[in-house]
Amino acid sequence: MLDMGLIARIGRGVYRFADLPAMGNPDLAIVAMKIPKAVICLISALSYHEITTEIPHEIYLALPRGAEPPRLDFPPLRIFWFGGPAFEEGIEKHVVDDIPVQVYSLEKTLADCFKYRNKIGLDVVLEALKSYRQGKRPRSMS
């Protein structure tokens, strides 16, 4: 089917019909399919909520402490291990390219960004907070 052009490979072990419209965010869709426990966090969540000018060069993921590290060649991942309520609270379910994706709420993301400001940069956090305070709200939830 791949050789005949009926399906297209979008990631290792992930295929879709070739005649479907182009995907808007294939990286998030691949991560959600391959790592169902993962939650999009920090800069990737800010980007999803459209409250930063940063373009993440890797997908920022939260996983529960003790979970097995994912083995995914592409897209590049940056893993953060959260425990208990820090992992479970603020998870929103969205649909990206017809795939259910877990993303932290904007408010939870802002709080986490302050917590991890030394890893992601204080300038990123302050820019997002400024945008949030100016009333730039995220897209409506799916």
List the domain boundaries for the chain: 23-133
pLDDT for 58-108, tens place per residue?
999 999 999 999 988 889 999 999 999 999 999 999 999 889 999 999 999
CA geometry: angle at 41 spanning 26 and 70, to 5°? Answer: 65
CA geometry: angle at 78 spanning 74 and 81, to 5°? Answer: 130
**pTM, full prediction:** 0.84
Report how far residue 32's alpha carbon sits from residue 96's, in angstroms, rounded to the nearest whole number.
Answer: 9
**Residues of the chain with pLDDT > 90: what percent?**
63
Angular region, 13: left φ>0, alpha ψ -120 to 50, beta rest: left
Report how far residue 110's alpha carbon sits from residue 43's, in angstroms, rounded to the nearest whole number.
Answer: 10
**Residues of the chain with pLDDT > 70: what percent?**
87
Residue 8 pLDDT > 90, yes or no?
no
Q: First-to-last CA distance in the chain?
A: 32
Report how far residue 38's alpha carbon sits from residue 126's, in angstroms, rounded to the nearest whole number.
Answer: 26
Decide if 18 contacts 10 (C-beta within 8 A): no
Decide if 34 contacts 108 (C-beta within 8 A): no
SS3 26: helix
